[in-house]
Each structure stands twice: as C-alpha cells, then as structure tokens.
Amino acid sequence: MELKSASKMKIGFISSEIYPFSKTGGLADVAFALGKYLAINGHDIRLITPLYSSIDTKRYPLKRLKEITEVNLWFGSQKYSFTVYIGLIPQSKAMIYFIHCPVLYDRGALYTNDPDEHIRFGLLNRAALELCQKLQWSPDIFHLNDWQTGLLPVYLKTIYNWDRLFDQCRTVMTIHNIGYQGRFKAHVINDLSLSEYHQWFDSSDLYHGHLNFLRTGLLHADKITTVSETYAREIQTADFGEGLQDILQGRAQDLVGILNGVDYETWNPQTDPWISKKYSINRLKDKKENKKFLVERLGLSYSKNTPLIGMVTRLAGQKGIELLDGGLQRLFAEHDVQLIILGSGEQHFERVLYQLQLSYPRQMVFYRGYDTELSHQIEAGADIFLMPSKYEPCGLNQIYSLKYGTVPVVRKTGGLADTVDLYDWKTQKGTGFVFEHFSIKGMYWALDYAINTFKYPEIWKKIMKQAMNKDFSWQKQIKHYENLFESIIQE
Ligand code: ADP
C-alpha cells in the first residue's frame, strides 16, 4: 500500500544513540536514517536521546530549549533534574531533543555497568513523556528502540495514564539486537517508581529476582519489529531468542521484520570523500587504486592478483571472531591472500588477533580501534568482505560492501541471509558467498570458494556488478515503516 501524501504522522523516536552524535553500532545509523527520511517524507518526526558528555557540541552546536525550565523527577527517594537541548539530524529537518542530565550522562561510555544504569535509561523514558507534556505534543506513534526504551509503554499506561494527551498514542518496539536486554535485579523496581505496578512486569522474572527492560517492552508495546525478516523468524526459536522466544511466539501476529536500509549518500563509492579514488560500476578499475592505497597505508605489499579480505566489526562473540583462530591459519597456509581487520571490543578477541598478526605479518593487519574513515577505505579497497556472524539481526557492512563491489562472504543468518545471494556458477547469478554452518569448516568453504572464483576476473567482475546493482536504500525501506505506522493508527 502506497502512502497518500496527506497521511502525515507524528512520530516520537526514542533511541539511546543517534549518528553522528553518539554511536556504538548499527542502531545509531538506523536512528539517523529513519529521522532523516521520515522528515523528508513530510512526517513530524522528533527524536529524543541523552546528551552524553562525549557528544561533540563544538562540531554539532545545540541550543537550550528555553521554553522548558529544569524538570525534576523522582526515582525512588532520589531526585534527578534535566533540561533539554535541541539540534537537527544533519541534511534534514528532523528535530532531536537531547536530555541533559549530567549526573547520569557524564560518563566514560554510552553504556556502563554502573549501579544506576537502570535509572540512566529509566529517566530517558520518563523524560520523553515529560517533554511531550511540556510541548503538548501527542505523537501518533512512539517508536522505541532496544532495551533502553523498554519501560516507556509501562510508564505510559501507569504513571502517565491520567493524561488525555497520550490517549491515542501507540507504541512500536524495535529489536535491533536481542542479545542486549537490560536485565537488572528485581529491587530496581523501587528506584524506577514502579513498585505499585509490579503486575506490569513478567511475574516469573520478578519471582526469580530479575527485571528485564526489553521483555517488559515486548509485553506491552502495540507492535514489535526487528531489522530483518529472517531475524524475526529466528528470535522465535530457542537458538536465537535469548530466553524471549516464548513471548515472541505468543506475539507472532504483532511481530514484523523490516530490513534496515542504507544511506547511500554516506555510503557510495562515487561520492565517498574518505576514499582515495572514487569509482562506479562503469569505472571498476579505479577501485584498484583504493586497494593499493589501503594495503600500503597499513604496511602490506600490493599485488593485484592477491585477494584482499576486509573486516570492520565490533569484537564480540556474536560476530564469529572465534572462527578466525583456526580458520585463518588454514587460509594463510593454503592461499595467497591478505586480510585487514578493523575492530575493537572484547580483550580476549583482541589478543587472539594480535597473536595472529604476529604469526602472519605479511598477510594480515589487525588495526585496533574505531575509525570511520578507515572503515570506508576498507569497504572501497578490499576485494572480499568477511562477516562470519553467529547471529546478525541485520548487519550493515555487508550492504555497504555490495554497493562498493566488495564481494561479501557471510554466514546465512538474519539480515546477512536476506541481503546476500550465494553465487551459482551454473546460473551465474548471485552477489556473494554464503555458508550455513557456524564452524571453521563452514567459513573456510565459503572463503575458499570466493578466492578460487576471484581467479577468474571476468566472472568476478560480473559478481561485483550484480552486487553493486542491488538497492537497499532507505528510500525503499522507509515505506515499510510508513505502512506499518499507518496500519497501527487506523486499527
Ligand atoms: P552492530 O550494530 O552489531 O555493531 P552493524 O553491521 O549493524 O553491526 O553496524 C555496525 C556499524 O558500526 C557499521 O556502520 C560499521 O561500519 C560500524 N563499525 C563497527 N566497528 C567499527 C570500527 N571499528 N570502526 C569504524 N566503524 C565501525
């Protein structure tokens, strides 16, 4: 169903991170893009997020929202005060309200293990509702994202229930990664000022001494989405549901998978300001210059015929890093191949990668850190992009890779399964190399297949072009959100 231009909606989008202000992963990119494209389509979308001390307010100047003086909120016996700053999503008119509460958001990282973590995000939920009250703004949809926003439906239906402003508001909860649920001890219910409303929480959780933000959101949101169709099916199973599969099975009618899009204004080899030489589907030979630049920048030697594999990733169990230890030894023994990994995260993975780099200094570079420019240069310079994830709700890098003609090698899970098609020598169709079993053997099979195919430049070029022709733009994907919101409002 196409939206009529008259159907403009009011959407309150609550997120714990928004690119380019704050980012640890794909959620920030999605927040940016949904803000941008829903605003471009004429909807009144307003984003609400914490003002972390790490936000670069020199680069992105924000203005104090003068209409709202300091707001005081009690959490248990503790009083917290916040003010509000405003900014815009770059390249759009989407307004962002930043919740300024230094005592909660002046920390070394966006997410912490501090004892008040539940209050940090409990406050975000209540601040969003308080803000709407002060502005007398009543969104048609509150779009909630991940565990940090899981309490909003409960606050809406309990403490804020008296306010007729919210009568028509509906809630949509999007799961970007079910591996992170916001699990706390049950006693935090007092700090959250919700002890009178314990019946709104999962009784078994409370009985066992827990309180789970994400589960609570999934119980009470009007609709649930996640970021690919395959992941929507996977999270209803014990293998992927992380303990929430039962509630998701119970709400299967309300659960939809909408694949994330990509912002091709940011990720496009024809316009990318960070890469050494711009290129397009018609000027593929210019991609080689990016490969030469990248390997030389990182101290490897350049060879046109040696396939270069790239990875840009959080170093977390989810990402399949454990397969590299064992898989790479075999790969380097049997193939002339190079590998560049950009990533940071869990220390034991960093140690494994440093060790591998020491053993294979001419084949491999591990660049520890978070570096946006280098991530673009890897997308442009590598021949192959590797994502051997154990699970992957959507994944963005494989979609960028398709656009950059950097052929993805991925495991068949979540959004990876929905975006990359296995190349078939018979039909000559396909955009990458896909393996099913999460094992060294599985990953090696796909890499071996890719590297052997790379030896045939004409075939490789064909795969690159098929990949580059794929369209996973937000302009396309945004329609699914518009249709979903519209259907909820009409219910
Ligand atoms: P996740 O959200 O699970 O980390 P996604 O593929 O959905 O995975 O999104 C990851 C995003 O973060 C991508 O935009 C990717 O380029 C970026 N990213 C991840 N690690 C790094 C890094 N070390 N340096 C630069 N960008 C990174």
Residue 176 alpha carbon, nearest atom of ligand 1 = 2
Phi/psi for 173 (5° steps) reads -110, 120
What are the tokens at 117? 């973590």
Q: What is the pLDDT along the chain (491 residues), one digit of tens a residue?
A: 444 444 899 999 999 999 999 998 889 999 999 999 999 999 999 999 999 999 999 999 999 999 899 999 999 999 999 999 999 998 888 999 999 999 999 999 999 999 999 999 999 999 999 999 999 999 999 999 999 999 999 999 999 999 999 999 999 999 999 999 999 999 999 999 999 999 999 999 999 999 999 999 999 999 999 999 999 999 999 999 999 999 999 999 999 999 999 989 889 999 999 999 999 999 999 999 999 999 999 999 999 999 999 999 999 999 999 999 999 999 999 999 999 999 999 999 999 999 999 999 999 999 999 999 999 999 999 999 999 999 999 999 999 999 999 999 999 999 999 999 999 999 999 999 999 999 999 999 999 999 999 999 999 999 999 999 999 999 999 999 999 999 999 98
What does the pLDDT read at residue 155? 98
Decide: 339 and 311 in contact? Cβ < 8 Å: yes
3-state secondary structure 17-49: CCCCCCCCCHHHHHHHHHHHHHHHCCCEEEEEE
Distance 415 CA to ligand 1 centre (A): 14
Q: How far apart are CA 467 and CA 31, in angstroms?
A: 25
For residue 270, being part of any structural domain is answered with: no
Residues 73 and 43 in one domain: yes
Q: Is 344 in the pocket of ligand 1 (CB under 6 A)?
A: yes
Residue 230 maps to which CATH number? 3.40.50.2000
Residues 484 and 372 in one domain: no
Fill in the amino acid letter for 417: A
Q: Is 314 in the pocket of ligand 1 (CB under 6 A)?
A: yes
Q: Which residues pair with 410 in a beta bridge?
A: 387, 434
Q: Is 419 in the pocket of ligand 1 (CB under 6 A)?
A: no
What does the pLDDT read at residue 1? 41
What does the pLDDT read at residue 208? 96
Residues 298 and 224 in one domain: no
Q: Is 313 in the pocket of ligand 1 (CB under 6 A)?
A: yes
Protein residue with its CA nearest to atom 24 in ligand 1: 370
For residue 269, being part of any structural domain is answered with: no
Q: Is 25 in the pocket of ligand 1 (CB under 6 A)?
A: yes
Residues 17 and 156 in one domain: yes
Residue 227 alpha carbon, nearest atom of ligand 1 = 7
Fill in the amino acid letter for 459: I
Q: Which residues pair with 257 in a beta bridge?
A: 226
Protein residue with its CA nearest to atom 17 in ligand 1: 25
Q: Comparing C-alpha atoms, which of 419, 394, 414 is closest to residue 239? A: 414
What are the tokens at 408? 């993805």
Residue 394 alpha carbon, nearest atom of ligand 1 = 7
H or E element, residue 284: none
Farthest CA pair distance, the chain? 69
For residue 320, being part of any structural domain is answered with: yes
What does the pLDDT read at residue 178? 97
Fill in the amino acid letter for 477: Q
For residue 190, being part of any structural domain is answered with: yes
Residue 372 alpha carbon, nearest atom of ligand 1 = 25
**Domain hosting residue 37, numbered range:** 10-261+475-490
For residue 274, being part of any structural domain is answered with: no
For residue 273, being part of any structural domain is answered with: no
Distance 311 CA to ligand 1 centre (A): 10
Q: Is 17 in the pocket of ligand 1 (CB under 6 A)?
A: no
Q: Is 29 in the pocket of ligand 1 (CB under 6 A)?
A: yes
Residues 236 and 377 in one domain: no
Q: How far apart are CA 186 and CA 354, in angstroms?
A: 40
Residues 47 and 196 in one domain: yes
Residue 398 alpha carbon, nearest atom of ligand 1 = 6
Distance 342 CA to ligand 1 centre (A): 10
Residues 238 and 359 in one domain: no
Q: Mutual orientation of helices 287-297 and 372-381 as an angle, nearest 10°? A: 130
What does the pLDDT read at residue 111? 97
Decide: 342 and 367 in contact? Cβ < 8 Å: yes
Residues 114 and 253 in one domain: yes
Domains in the chain, number: 2
Q: How far apart are CA 85 and CA 67, in angstroms?
A: 11
Q: Is 26 in the pocket of ligand 1 (CB under 6 A)?
A: yes
What does the pLDDT read at residue 92? 86
Q: How far apart are CA 241 and CA 224, in angstroms?
A: 14
Residue 342 alpha carbon, nearest atom of ligand 1 = 23
For residue 104, being part of any structural domain is answered with: yes
Residues 179 and 322 in one domain: no
181 CB-side CA count, 13 A = 18
Q: What is the pTM of this model?
A: 0.94
Q: Is 375 in the pocket of ligand 1 (CB under 6 A)?
A: yes
At 84, is the secondary structure helix, strand, or coil?
strand
Residues 236 and 343 in one domain: no
For residue 386, being part of any structural domain is answered with: yes
* Best probe residue, ligand 1, of 396, 400, 472 (max atoms within 8 Å of C-beta): 396
Distance 261 CA to ligand 1 centre (A): 14
Q: How far apart are CA 288 and CA 203, in angstroms?
A: 59
Residue 415 alpha carbon, nearest atom of ligand 1 = 7
Q: Comparing C-alpha atoms, which of 465, 356, 456, 354 is closest to residue 403? A: 465
* Best probe residue, ligand 1, of 19, 313, 346, 403 (max atoms within 8 Å of C-beta): 313
Protein residue with its CA nearest to atom 20 in ligand 1: 313
Residues 250 and 354 in one domain: no
Residues 169 and 300 in one domain: no
First to last CA, the chain: 15
